[in-house]
Amino acid sequence: MKSGEVVATVEAAGNNDYSLPKTERVPKKVLDKNDFLNLLVAQLKNQDPMEPQSNEDFIATMAQFNSLETLSSLDKNTQYGQAMSMVGKTVTVQEQNKDAVTGTVEKAGVVDGKVVVYVGGIEYGISDVKEVHPQESSQIALYSGDLLQAAMLIGRKVSLDGDPEGVVEKVGMADGKVKIYVNGSPHDIADISEISSIDEDTASQPEPEVESQ
């Protein structure tokens, strides 16, 4: 290869565009408590050492953080209650830029700190639920009454007819009946012979699931 050809090859290679594709940054619309803490740390790092933040200002900032944490906890509990009330109901869910899906909510839970429902075995955020379809009055009474009553047993120790006692792990629907799950097995509510106080060993465990089968 001649020297002129080498120069031409190098120049041609230099003209090629090998830059990485640009990705559009999507800004967050809502700040959570972690963002709040990051902002607080950045503020403390960059404050003037000759004029640091006063105790009153710091206390006011922490009070704001406590209020934010309380509101976040209340919002999460409200969302979990909404998700639990959807178990067994027909809903329409739609994720961003995807087609809508209609099906029955099989269970509800908390994953990575977010309230989710499961439709067709797929996990959806509570905000993805676009419509809750009406049900017959008998079904509404069943889910809002028996299922809610059974959900209040979650975490409590119960004795069952013909079976050893155990802690209610979750509740759900099976064959049109409300079931409680003890030691991994489903049981009818009518099988309960005794209910004990909430088990201290399970009181601090993560939120249980309520499911429909």
CA-to-CA separations, 102 to 78, 107, 129, 137, in angstroms, rounded: 23, 15, 10, 20
Compute the distance between CA of residue 88 and CA of residue 172 in angstroms, rounded to an integer. 9
pLDDT tens figures, 107-155: 887 788 788 888 988 999 888 988 887 765 445 545 556 667 777 777 8
Q: What is the mean pLDDT of the chain?
A: 70
172 touches 131 (CB < 8 A): no
- Model pLDDT, residue 124: 92
pTM, two decimal places? 0.38
What is 69-134's CATH topology? SH3 type barrels. (2.30.30)
pLDDT tens figures, 79-115: 777 787 788 888 899 888 889 999 988 888 778 878 8
Give 48's pLDDT tier (boundaries 50, 70, 90): low
pLDDT > 70 fraction of the chain, expressed in percent and rounded: 50
For the chain, domain boundaries: 69-134, 135-213
